[in-house]
């Protein structure tokens, strides 16, 4: 009896409401939870409430943690105030300005900062939104390591033959990962006739995944590999690719390859679409600490003990610029946002993120609720915080005098 929010923005196909679900909808409304189908129209208070309990609002599958939980040591705490280009910035004021529910900073695998606000704590889950894209990308690496996917140069249709004759005929797995398919796509969330809006209303038919049903209707408008365009639908296709290649659900495969063996501290959950499949482009709910642990896993090259979960050079490629996005100092890898200083990040709307800086052995995971989905001032403030932490660690490494 799970029900409700139809999360139209996020790649979630609408869930039809049974009589029982309508009762739950009334109950959710009374509890202050959103019942609108589009997260952009939720009030800030509704988002504060909903982001920590998405599994109450819609159907999910559990990403199971194991019994051997990874224990994190505590390192030297970061100072309460950091220096930025605009002056001093306190951790308290940064969290308030960013409306953060949780932040975890790991350096050399040790906790340098762990803070929670908004009645949130280390044992509670928060949604990731598009941070999930980077986790799905990692599952492609695991599937290559396991032999389920032969090569990034393989045509996508070798794994999803239903796409033959569509705009994705001739597109490679790597071009899908880098969002350089050349397929025509409109990701305008404010346009009800955009692909991202219409895509989300597609229903499963005759057992066929709604992702496939919509994406196979698209046409190509640029030569594959020549143009970058952000396309959430393509990450959902990556999820279909992994599930088809491995014969396992994304939740099962993520649990098997990372969540259990690496020792994540809590179960996570993944939202499902109308066809009962995980949404590759969105919506894993986990603790902020476990998002940080995932960053640490990536920092270590995807190794668990002596076992490599992904090919040895996977994250060196996935986390570096594979295509230009028209922004100075930035690029796009395999579903990771990249920076020219060697750092890279998973990012989700409303302030979700995992920032990874291999040169400083730094991971910063944060969850929150920005006033709007992608406000420029909040993004700039987050980047300034990242830089302030980097500069402080540099000052520790080379003390004055």
- Asked if residue 127 lies in contact with residue 225, where contact means CB atoms within 8 angstroms, the answer is no
Confidence of residue 193 (pLDDT cuts 50, 70, 90): confident
**Average pLDDT rounded to a whole number, residues 35-61:** 87
Lowest mean pLDDT among 12-26, 126-140, 264-278: 12-26
* 367 assigned to some structural domain: yes
Considering only 121-135, 345-359, 385-399, which range has the smallest mean pLDDT? 385-399
pLDDT, position 37: 63
CATH code, domain carrying 95: 3.40.710.10
| Residue 149 CB-half CA count within 13 A | 31
Binning pLDDT at 50, 70 and 90, where does residue 36 land? low
77 in the same domain as 46? no
- 46 with 14, same domain: the answer is yes
Q: What is the pLDDT of residue 401?
A: 55
CATH number of the domain encompassing residue 153? 1.20.58.710
Residues 242 and 314 occupy one common structural domain: no
Last residue of a domain, one of 58, 90, 105: 58
Boundary (domain end) residue, out of 224, 246, 268: 246
d(CA 249, CA 371) in angstroms, rounded, equals: 34
CA–CA separation, 9 vs 190, rounded Å?
A: 9
Banded model confidence at residue 199, pLDDT cuts 50, 70, 90: confident
Higher pLDDT, 68 or 25: 68
The answer to whether residue 139 is domain-embedded is no
Does residue 344 form part of some domain? yes
46: in domain: yes
pLDDT band at 40 (very low <50, low <70, confident <90, very high): confident
How far apart, in whole angstroms, are the C-alpha atoms of residue 387 and residue 381? 10
DSSP 257-282: IIITTTT-SS-EEEEB-TTS-B-TTS
**pLDDT of 347-393, one tens digit each?**
999 999 999 999 999 999 999 999 999 999 999 999 999 999 999 99
Q: Please give the residue range of the domain that contains residue 363.
A: 72-128+286-401
What residues pair up with 172 in beta bridges, in sequence order?
155
167 within domain boundaries: yes
Same domain, 180 and 224: yes
Q: What percent of the chain clears pLDDT 70, i.e. is strictly above it?
A: 90
> What's the confidence (pLDDT) of residue 9?
42
Regarding whether 121 and 27 lie in a shared domain, the answer is no
pLDDT at 31: 56
277 within a domain of the structure (yes/no)? no
Rounded to the nearest 5 percent, the helix, strand and coil shares of the chain are: 35, 20, 45
| Mean pLDDT of the region 200-223 | 89
Same domain, 226 and 295: no
User: Residue 8 pLDDT > 60, yes or no?
Assistant: no
Tens digits of residue pLDDT in 258-284: 999 999 999 999 999 888 999 999 999
CA–chain centroid gap for 36, Å, is 23
Residue 258 CA from chain centroid, whole number: 15
Selection from 351, 247, 261, 252 nearest residue 309 by Cα: 261
Pair (290, 401) in one structural domain: yes
The answer on 206 and 229 residing in a single domain is yes
Q: Is the pLDDT of residue 42 over 80?
A: yes
Q: What is the pLDDT of residue 5?
A: 38
pLDDT band at 18 (very low <50, low <70, confident <90, very high): very low
H/E stretch holding 324 reads strand 323-324
Same-domain check for residues 292 and 359 = yes
Sign of the alpha-carbon dihedral angle for 247, 314, 153, 240: positive
Mean confidence (pLDDT) of the chain: 90
Is 163 within 8 Å of 212 (Cβ atoms)? yes
Where does a domain end: 216, 246, 276? 246
Question: Is residue 280 situated within a structural domain?
Answer: no
**Confidence grade of residue 23 (pLDDT, cut at 50, 70, 90):** very low
Q: In terms of Cα–Cα distance, which of 80, 105, 84 is closest to 384?
A: 84
How many independent structural domains does the chain possess?
Answer: 3
**Strands 323-324, 87-90: pairing kind:** unpaired
Do both 85 and 178 map to the same domain? Answer: no
Residue 89 has pLDDT above 80, yes or no: yes
Q: 305 and 345: one domain?
A: yes
Residue 270 resides in a domain: no
pLDDT at res. 12: 35
5-19, 23-37, 149-163, 187-201: segment of lowest average pLDDT: 5-19
The two beta strands, 126-127 and 303-304, are unpaired
Task: Kindly state whether residues 308 and 358 are assigned to the same domain.
Answer: yes
Structure confidence by residue, pLDDT tens digits, 140-187: 999 999 999 999 999 999 999 999 999 999 999 999 999 999 999 998
Residue 7: pLDDT over 90? no
């Amino acid at each position: 009896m799970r029900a409700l929010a139809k999360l139209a923005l996020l790649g979630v196909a609408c869930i039809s409401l049974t009589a029982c679900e309508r009762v739950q909808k009334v109950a959710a409304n009374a509890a202050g939870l959103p019942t609108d189908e589009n997260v952009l129209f939720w009030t800030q208070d509704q988002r504060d409430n909903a982001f920590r309990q998405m599994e109450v609002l819609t159907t999910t599958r559990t990403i199971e943690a194991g019994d051997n939980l990874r224990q994190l040591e505590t390192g030297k705490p970061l100072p309460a105030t950091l220096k930025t280009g605009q002056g001093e910035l306190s951790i308290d004021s940064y969290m308030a300005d960013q409306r953060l529910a949780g932040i975890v900073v790991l350096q050399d695998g040790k906790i340098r900062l762990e803070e929670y606000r908004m009645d949130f704590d280390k044992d509670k889950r928060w949604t990731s939104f598009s941070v999930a894209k980077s986790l799905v990308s990692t599952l492609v690496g695991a599937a290559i390591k396991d032999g389920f996917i032969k090569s990034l140069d393989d045509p996508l249709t070798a794994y999803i033959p239903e796409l033959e004759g569509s705009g994705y005929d001739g597109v490679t797995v790597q071009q899908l990962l880098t969002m350089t398919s050349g397929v025509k796509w409109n990701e305008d969330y404010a346009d009800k006739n955009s692909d991202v809006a219409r895509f989300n209303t597609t229903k499963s038919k005759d057992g066929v995944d709604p992702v496939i049903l919509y994406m196979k209707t698209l046409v190509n408008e640029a030569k594959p590999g020549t143009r970058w365009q952000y396309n959430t639908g393509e990450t959902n296709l990556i999820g279909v690719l992994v599930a088809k290649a491995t014969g396992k659900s994304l939740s099962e495969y993520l649990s098997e390859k990372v969540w259990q063996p690496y020792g994540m501290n809590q179960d996570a959950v993944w939202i499902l679409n109308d066809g009962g499949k995980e949404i590759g482009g969105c919506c894993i709910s986990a603790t902020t600490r476990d998002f940080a642990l995932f960053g640490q896993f990536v920092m270590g090259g995807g190794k668990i003990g002596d076992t490599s979960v992904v090919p040895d050079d996977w994250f060196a490629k996935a986390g570096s610029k594979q295509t230009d996005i028209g922004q100075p100092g930035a690029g796009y890898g395999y579903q990771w946002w990249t920076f020219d200083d060697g750092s890279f990040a998973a990012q989700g709307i409303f302030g979700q993120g995992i920032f990874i800086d291999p040169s400083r052995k730094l991971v910063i995971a944060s969850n929150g609720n920005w006033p709007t989905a992608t406000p420029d001032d909040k993004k700039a403030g987050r980047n300034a915080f990242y830089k302030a932490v980097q500069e402080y660690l540099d000052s520790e490494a080379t003390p004055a005098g």
